[in-house]
Amino acid sequence: MCGIYGYIGKLNAIDEVYKGLKLLQYRGYDSCGIAYYTKNALKIVKAVGALENLEKPNIKCNIAFGHTRWATNGEVNLKNTHPHISYDKAFTVVHNGIIDNADTLKRALKKSGVKFYSNTDTEVIANLLTSIKGDSDNKVKNLFNQLEGSFALIIGCVDKTIYLVKKFSPLNLLVSDDGIYISSDISSLPSGNLYSLQDYDIIKIKDNIVTNLNGNSITYT
C-alpha cells in the first residue's frame, strides 16, 4: 500500500524523492506526485499510473516530498492525486491513511464557504489547517482533536517549514550527512540516525533544525 517520501538537504531533492518513491513502488500504487520548493514558490507535479509518467522537473532544489497513492477516498484521477493544497495555498499535504470523519468535516468547511477541487479526504486536512485559528504550530497540533482515523502526513508551508504528523500509520525520519530523509517505509531509507515517529508525534523541520512539538525527545537509533 502507498507511500510517502521526503528529503531536505544539500543533494537534489527531486532526485532523492524520485529515487525514494521508486523504492516504495513494490507496495503498489495507482498515481504519484511530488511537491518541491523553488526559490520563490512551491510547485507540484502529478501523474496517474507509474512514476515513469511523472514529468520530473529538471531543476535543483533542496526540499521536496512525494507520494504514491492507493486510492481509498475518491477515484483514481489527476485531481485526486497527492500532494493536495489548501484553498488559500498555505499548506501542501501528502497523506497515507484514511480520515473516517472526512465527510462531516468537509460539509462543515463547505458551509463556511471553502471550495474543494478533489474528492479526497486529504484535501479536507489541507483546508482544515487553513480554517483552524492560530499559528502553524497550533494548527498542526489541533489536527489531532479534529481528525478521526489514520494518518501519516508531510505538510509543507509556504515559508518552507515542514511538519511530519503521525497517528496509526507509519512514518520515519532519518538524519545523515547528506540531509534529512522521511519515509513511510524504513527499508527505503539510507543509513543514518533513524527515528520512527510515535503516534501523536509532530516533527517540525525548519532551517534544518528538527524538533518534536509534542514534547517527547527524538531518540535516534
**Interacting residue ranges for ligand GLU, rule: CB under 6 A:** 2, 69-74, 80, 95-98, 120-122
Q: What is the DSSP letter of 176?
A: E
Q: What is the DSSP letter of 158?
A: T
* Beta carbon nearer to ligand GLU, 143 or 175: 143
Closest CA to 218 of 206, 73, 202, 86: 202
* Beta carbon nearer to ligand GLU, 73 or 127: 73
State the minimum distance, in angstroms, from the CB of residue 122 to ligand GLU. Answer: 5
* Beta carbon nearer to ligand GLU, 82 or 204: 82
State the minimum distance, in angstroms, from the CB of residue 169 to ligand GLU. Answer: 7
* Beta carbon nearer to ligand GLU, 29 or 163: 29
State the minimum distance, in angstroms, from the CB of residue 49 to ligand GLU. Answer: 14
State the minimum distance, in angstroms, from the CB of residue 80 to ligand GLU. Answer: 6
Sheet holding 31-37: strands in order across?
A: 42-48, 31-37, 63-69, 3-9, 179-183, 172-176, 193-196
Helices and strands, counts by H and E, the chain:
4, 13
- Output phi, psi for 95, to 5 deg: -145, 130
Closest CA to 83 of 188, 182, 7, 154: 154
* Beta carbon nearer to ligand GLU, 73 or 183: 73
Please tell me the distance from the alpha carbon of residue 194 to that of residue 175, in angstroms, as a whole number: 7
State the minimum distance, in angstroms, from the CB of residue 129 to ligand GLU. Answer: 16
Would you give the distance in Å from CA 151 to the centre of its chain? Answer: 10
The residue sitting closest to ligand GLU, measured at its beta carbon, is 2
